[in-house]
Structure 1
């Protein structure tokens, strides 16, 4: 089991465990702290996080900023990938992202990254991770595809 997934399973058994895990992820990757994500689900092949609609992530028209949406997408894709890729034999890094802004985000948002499993891991593989962001009404307001570059570990 990848270390990140092991940590998630351990911490989320405690009171406030999801909050603590979310803070730990932001400590490891500080930039994600700007959106104050709350990771609600992590399992191989899937990660879900919520981001509150608050002034700090607003644009000039009072909705959640496009880059905050991108941050949420990269967060769930990265956490899911880290919890899914076999850590002893492979590693990963984001290589690119395409996005679609489908509607203004005027509520809290939920970002979900999900890939089908099982997966045959290869060296020098482009893993395309789809991410959907929904508002509290359940409407898809943003889509992204994040290209994770997977390589075999040397030695």
Structure 2
């Protein structure tokens, strides 16, 4: 699965409208992220950059980007980076997120996710992801550390049966 997400990105990103199309596909898979209308800018193992426009739907009562919208942006960037970084034989799920609101977010934003820690893929464990959210002037307005639980995928018994049936024919 990791490689399929990255393969889709590689096929679409360089085409006209490709980054928009990829962003829409991600939001179809995980609809809640559509609330911030993200736009993926760059994606590769150990790096993801996602942009969010400042617009009325993501503002708070004082006219700045809402804290929860920035959390949503951070989780999207961190999760997608994790997806294309871990081995295809593994799966992940967010376990927790620590955030810091550093200054008012008054412009469009870009979240950049990178690994904060390395992991031994041979055993289940916690993979820490650092996300920095910056404004159009390049100043960090928000920071997050997301703990991802990463473990080998479990095979369902029907997967083994299907494989065995196919091999015995």
TM bucket (normalised to shorter chain) is over 0.9
Q: How does 1:107-146 map to 2 (within 5 A)?
A: 107-115=107-115, 120-146=120-146
Instruction: Kindly tell me the number of residue pairs found equivalent between the two proteins.
Output: 154
Q: How does 1:9-88 map to 2 (within 5 A)?
A: 9-87=10-88
Deviation at 1:94, TM superposition (A): 0.5
Residue 103 of structure 2: aligned partner: 103
Question: Where do 5+ consecutive residues of structure 2 fail to align?
Answer: 156-169
Distance between the aligned counterparts of 2:145 and 2:122, measured in 1?
A: 20
Structure with more of its chain in helix, by fraction: 2
TM-score (norm 1): 0.94
Question: Where do 5+ consecutive residues of structure 1 fail to align?
Answer: none
CA RMSD of aligned residues (A): 1.5
Bigger relative contact order, structure 1 or 2, given CA contacts below 8 A and separation 6+? Answer: 1
Distance between the aligned counterparts of 1:77 and 1:32, measured in 2?
A: 12
Deviant stretches of 4+, over 3 Å? 116-120
- 1:55-96 per-residue CA deviation (whole Å, 9 max, x = no partner) reads 100000000000000000000001111111111x21100010
